[in-house]
């Protein structure tokens, strides 16, 4: 039986390899390229022959799948396919980078080196920490293919995540939503970004995902009929104009539907733009812009456009190369419909990102990708940045929406949405930012913190005497501006430290303390300062009490002992370790009384909810629900502070929970609701409030329950009350 299975597996592996060749053949492979891919496949097959994935299938399926994603979904060439096949070989076997270079050349070895260096960042067994992410971005400036292959790797891991443990699923899905999906978006890989987001939601919010997925399936036929009705007159007019085109109906991703439901606080049925209609024109590059506007004119002849919803990325493409004309029009039956108009070239770039960009522009051109990489390199030059600040700066600046502003001479500058006038000054030049004392926007004097809008014309007023102070960090959002302000402050601190050193040395000599490295190290330890530079600076600004030097015990100029400091108490982390015992799970309940823990107010967990503990700096352990709005960020940035948690028997504890009840305002309905709560189920209420408007009521009740089962039972009974339309828990 085992032999038959092995034979079957061998056949499936060969089929997967042939599928890879078919994906690559769209680029018309030469004999040499086919030979290289076969060679890489054979080496990978041999290297992973005794390895299996968590699912039990042969490990070789994974590198083949990653190579297929790189070839067909990102559109990468032979070099990338070879690297994708070999991306785990150097790490998992005795083969070295030197072997790779001899067999496949320097470029392949360099990319595999980049992939190996950052494997810890994407490794499912470790948390994605900010410092590692920083190292990963350093490789981006060498060859963007390193990141593209890693994104393909992450996509395949997400597609096969169901075999992992629940806690691993949550961690990997959270990292994906927090960083990798936005990274794919920034690189113009919209299809991959959407799939990563949907798969991330599938594991972080499984119930929500299933509900929306089912509703999309149930309404698919109705959507298709509507799209057909909408496009009939448009198609005919485009044909009459002699424009070659194709029309596609694209349904919104589950994640973006959920996002809209959350932001607008609406139900699935109230999300009006569940789908977009895409008109793709077969136009040459010289005519495509004019043809897009011709098509726009035809669409708006039939359907009234919403003037606030026109997005022109044809005239001014996004920084990641995205070009398209978006409008929202009023379609049949009073429904708003989003229409996207673009050429085949634009559509290719929108789906495949930069790989397609290279195909049209050639790798030598100074594309938006090069500008993006330059901005990353500037971020990495940030002097000693705090790792988590770095992540936030990176997300803020490189994944945000953009605005377009102008210099007094009419030059266009791109900044992230929310950028201020001071950000603009630093975007022009570091010196202009440092010397900036005032700004004019559209010829009016405004504060440095003034938030810019697209189309603003900005003028900077400078003074050579000005030096930036720390409070200016509050006026900027771009990483460039923050890093330049910090660098300038640091340079000033260095100057002050020279004076501080003189003051300290003079004081030590007066007290007959030798000025040597051993004594300086003892002072550092006593004052709790990280290095001598920082200590000298603090002395200069009067931040350290030098009177304490008199209390040191000396022996021939050497410090023998320092004054006593208060002994710190046992750390929270130590208490957690002691309470956890051998298990890695933190039990919430009677065993946790020794530790300060709180139920987090951001998600109000109750007994029975799927929860985790988060070790805070000042407030002990906070218990959060797994679907807490802050969970993704906490799990991505601070996985080492996450503690697994489960509930013990909590029958005597009551948890405060909020319910929102809506329905038809009828006499006696409030009495029926309160009777069920207090009489039938013996639940204590803390507060109750009802509002009625035009026959519809909405009530909010704060009450105490024992656990999720108790709450579910209560909600079911309330839903049965005549006139009640909806009962939901307030998050």
Q: How far is the C-alpha of 69 from the C-alpha of 46, rounded, in Å?
A: 22
Q: Could you give the 3-state DSSP secondary structure of residue 415? A: strand
pLDDT of amino acid 670:
79
Q: Are residues 557 and 659 in the same domain?
A: no
Confirm whether 380 is domain-assigned.
no
pLDDT at 249: 85
Q: Is the dihedral angle over the CA atoms 40, 42, 47, 50 positive or is it negative? A: positive
Q: Please identify which residue in the block is written with the tokens 């807490």.
A: 628
Residue 160, domain member (yes or no): yes
User: Within this chain, do residues 169 and 89 fall inside the same structural domain, yes or no?
Assistant: yes
Q: Could you give the CA distance from residue 615 to residue 48 in angstroms, rounded to a whole number?
A: 39
pLDDT tens, residue by residue, 489-502: 888 888 888 888 88
Q: Which of 627, 647, 667 is the last residue of a domain?
A: 647
Residue that has been written with the tokens 């634009």 in this structure? 346
Check whether residue 124 and residue 242 sit in a common domain: no
Q: Is the pLDDT of residue 357 over 70?
A: no
Q: What is the pLDDT of residue 562?
A: 73
Q: What is the CATH number of the domain that holds 337?
A: 3.30.460.10
**Which of 345, 361, 377 is where one domain is finished?**
361
Domain for residue 142, yes or no?
A: yes
Confidence of residue 478 (pLDDT cuts 50, 70, 90): confident
C-alpha span between 148 and 155 (Å, rounded): 11
pLDDT tens digits, 508-518: 888 888 888 88
Whether 643 and 659 share a structural domain: no
How many Å apart are CA 163 and CA 636, to the nearest integer?
Answer: 21
Hey, is 153 helix, strand or coil? helix
Strands 336-343 and 275-281: parallel
Domain membership of residue 385 (yes or no) is: no
Residue 51, helix vs strand vs coil = coil
Indicate the DSSP class of residue 252. P
User: In terms of domains, do 662 and 614 share one?
Assistant: no
Say yes or no: 346 and 234 in one domain: yes
CATH number at residue 691: 3.30.70.260
Is 288 among the catalytic positions? no
The rounded distance, in Å, linking the Cα atoms of 361 and 584 is: 53
CA distance 114 to 94: 18
- Same domain? 282 vs 354: yes
Choose between 126 and 336: higher pLDDT. Answer: 336
What is the DSSP secondary-structure string of 561-599? E----PPPPPPHHHHHHHHHTTSSEEEESGGGTTS-EEE
pLDDT in tens, 622-651: 888 888 878 877 777 777 778 777 776 554
186 and 263 belong to one structural domain: no
Which residue in the list 12, 46, 91, 691 is annotated as catalytic? 91
Of the listed ranges 478-482, 600-604, 666-670, the least confidently predicted one is 666-670
The domain containing residue 591 runs over which residues? 572-647
Can you give the pLDDT at residue 125?
Answer: 39
Query: What value does the mean pLDDT take over residues 277-289?
Result: 90
- Say which of 92, 344, 492, 698 is annotated catalytic: 92
Same domain, 13 and 44: yes
Mean pLDDT rounded to a whole number for the chain: 79
Residue 324: pLDDT band by 50, 70, 90 thresholds?
A: very high
- Label residue 528 by pLDDT band (50, 70, 90): confident
Q: What is the DSSP letter of 679?
A: I
27 and 91 fall within a common domain: yes
The reply to whether 704 falls in a domain is yes
Q: What is the pLDDT averaged over residues 354-371? A: 52
- DSSP letter assigned to residue 683: P
The confidence band for 579, taking pLDDT boundaries of 50, 70 and 90, is very low
Q: Which two three-digit tokens encode residue 291?
A: 């043809």
Last residue of a domain, one of 204, 237, 254: 204
Neighbours of 98 (CB within 10 A): 10
46 catalytic per annotation: no
Nearest in space to 552 (alpha carbons), one of 517, 516, 515, 512: 512
E strand or H helix at 387: helix 387-398
What is the pLDDT, as a whole number, of residue 639?
72
Write out the DSSP string of 73-123.
IS---HHHHHHHHTTTHHHHSS--HHHHHHHH-HHHHHHHHHHHHTHHHH-
Let me know whether 635 and 499 are in one domain. no
Calpha distance 155→196 (Å, rounded): 6
Task: Report the pLDDT value the prediction gives residue 651, as an integer from 0 to 100.
Answer: 47
Mean of the pLDDT values across residues 547-562? 77
The total number of structural domains that make up the chain: 5
What's the rounded Cα separation, in Å, for the pair 347 and 356? 10
- Measured at the CA of 343, the angle between CA 342 and CA 347, to 5 degrees, comes to 75
Residue 170 sits at the vertex; the CA angle it makes with 167 and 172, to the nearest 5 degrees, is 110
Please list, in sequence order, all residues whose beta carbon lies within 8 angstroms of the beta carbon of residue 303, skipping any fewer than 6 positions away. 230, 329, 330, 331, 337
Q: What is the DSSP string of 318-365?
A: -TT----EEEEEE-GGG-EEEEEEEEHHHHHHHHHTHHHHHHHH-TTS
pLDDT digits (tens, 9 = 90+) for 104-155: 888 888 888 877 766 544 444 334 445 555 555 655 556 677 888 888 999 9
Q: Which band of pLDDT confidence, cut at 50, 70 and 90, is reported for residue 569?
A: very low
Q: Is residue 513 part of a domain?
A: yes
Helix, coil or strand: residue 531: coil
pLDDT, one tens digit per residue, over 396-447 is: 555 556 777 888 887 778 888 889 999 999 999 989 999 888 888 888 888 8
The number of C-alpha atoms within 13 Å of 92 and in the hemisphere containing its C-beta is 21
Asked whether residue 464 is assigned to any structural domain, the reply reads no
Looking at the fold, whether 627 and 683 belong to one and the same domain comes out as: no
In a domain, 235, yes or no: yes
Measured CA to CA, the distance from residue 706 to residue 589 in angstroms comes to 13
Domain harbouring 173, CATH code: 1.10.3210.10
* Of residues 648, 713, 644, 650, the one with CA closest to residue 682: 713
Reported as a pLDDT band with limits 50, 70 and 90, residue 699 is confident
């Amino acid at each position: 039986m085992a032999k038959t299975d092995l034979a079957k597996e061998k056949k499936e592996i060969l089929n997967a390899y042939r599928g890879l060749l078919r994906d690559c053949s769209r680029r018309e492979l030469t004999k040499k390229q086919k030979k290289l891919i076969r060679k890489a496949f054979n080496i990978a097959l041999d290297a992973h022959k005794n390895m299996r994935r968590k699912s039990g299938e042969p490990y070789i399926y994974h590198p083949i799948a990653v190579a297929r994603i790189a070839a067909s979904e990102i559109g990468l060439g032979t070099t990338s396919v070879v690297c994708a096949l070999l991306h785990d070989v150097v790490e998992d076997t005795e083969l070295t980078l030197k072997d790779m270079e001899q067999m496949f050349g320097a470029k392949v070895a360099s990319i595999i080196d980049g992939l190996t260096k950052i494997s810890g960042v994407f490794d499912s067994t470790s948390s994605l920490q900010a410092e590692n992410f920083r190292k990963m971005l350093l490789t981006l400036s060498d060859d963007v293919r390193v990141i593209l292959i890693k994104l393909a790797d992450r996509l395949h891991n997400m597609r096969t995540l169901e075999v992992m443990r629940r806690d691993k699923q949550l961690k990997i899905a959270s990292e994906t939503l927090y960083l990798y999906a936005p990274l794919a978006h920034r690189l113009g890989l919209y299809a991959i970004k959407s799939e990563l987001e949907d798969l991330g939601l599938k594991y972080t919010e499984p119930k929500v995902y299933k509900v929306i997925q089912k509703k999309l399936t149930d309404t698919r036929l109705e959507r298709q009929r509507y799209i057909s009705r909408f496009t009939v007159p448009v198609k005919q007019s485009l044909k009459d104009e002699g424009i070659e085109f194709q029309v596609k109906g694209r349904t919104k991703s589950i994640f973006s539907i959920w996002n809209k439901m959350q932001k607008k606080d609406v139900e699935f049925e109230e999300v009006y733009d569940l789908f977009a209609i895409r008109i793709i024109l077969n136009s040459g590059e010289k005519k495509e812009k004019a043809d897009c506007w011709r098509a726009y004119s035809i669409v708006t002849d039939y359907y009234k456009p919403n003037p606030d919803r026109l997005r022109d990325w044809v005239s001014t493409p996004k920084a990641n190369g995205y070009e398209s004309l978006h409008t929202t029009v009023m379609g049949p039956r009073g429904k708003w419909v989003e229409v996207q108009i673009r050429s085949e070239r634009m559509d290719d770039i929108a789906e495949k990102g930069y790989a397609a960009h290279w195909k049209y522009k050639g790798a030598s051109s100074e594309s938006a990708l090069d500008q993006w990489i330059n901005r990353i390199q500037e971020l990495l030059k940030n002097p000693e940045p705090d790792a988590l600040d770095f992540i936030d700066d990176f997300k803020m600046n490189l994944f945000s929406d953009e605005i377009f502003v102008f210099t007094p001479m009419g030059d266009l500058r791109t900044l992230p949405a929310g950028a201020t006038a001071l950000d603009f000054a630093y975007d022009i030049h570091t010196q202009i930012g440092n010397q900036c004392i005032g700004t004019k926007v559209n010829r009016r004097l405004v504060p440095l913190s003034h938030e810019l809008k697209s189309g603003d014309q900005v003028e900077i007023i400078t003074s050579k005497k000005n030096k930036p102070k720390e409070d200016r960090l509050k006026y900027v959002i771009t990483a460039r501006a923050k890093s330049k302000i910090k660098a300038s402050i640091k340079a000033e601190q260095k100057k002050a430290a020279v004076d501080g050193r003189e003051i300290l040395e003079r004081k030590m000599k007066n007290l007959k303390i030798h000025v040597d490295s051993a004594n300086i190290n003892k002072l550092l330890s006593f004052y709790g300062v990280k290095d001598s530079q920082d200590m000298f600076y603090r002395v200069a600004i009067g931040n350290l009490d030098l009177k304490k030097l008199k209390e040191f015990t000396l022996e021939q100029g050497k410090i023998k002992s320092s004054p006593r400091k208060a002994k710190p108490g046992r750390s929270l982390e130590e208490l957690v370790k002691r309470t956890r015992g051998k298990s890695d799970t933190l039990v919430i309940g009677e065993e946790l009384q020794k530790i300060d823990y709180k139920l987090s107010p951001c998600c109000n967990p109750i007994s029975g909810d799927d929860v985790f503990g988060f070790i805070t700096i000042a407030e002990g352990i906070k218990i959060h629900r797994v679907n807490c709005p802050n969970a993704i960020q906490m799990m991505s940035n601070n996985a080492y502070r996450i503690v697994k948690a489960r509930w013990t028997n909590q029958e005597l504890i009551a948890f405060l929970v909020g319910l929102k009840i809506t329905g038809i305002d009828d006499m006696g309905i409030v009495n029926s609701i309160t009777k069920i709560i207090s009489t039938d189920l013996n639940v204590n209420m803390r507060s109750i409030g009802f509002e009625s408007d035009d026959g519809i009521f909405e009530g909010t009740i704060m009450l105490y329950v024992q656990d999720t089962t108790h709450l579910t039972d209560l909600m079911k009974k309330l839903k049965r009350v005549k006139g009640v339309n909806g009962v939901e828990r307030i998050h």
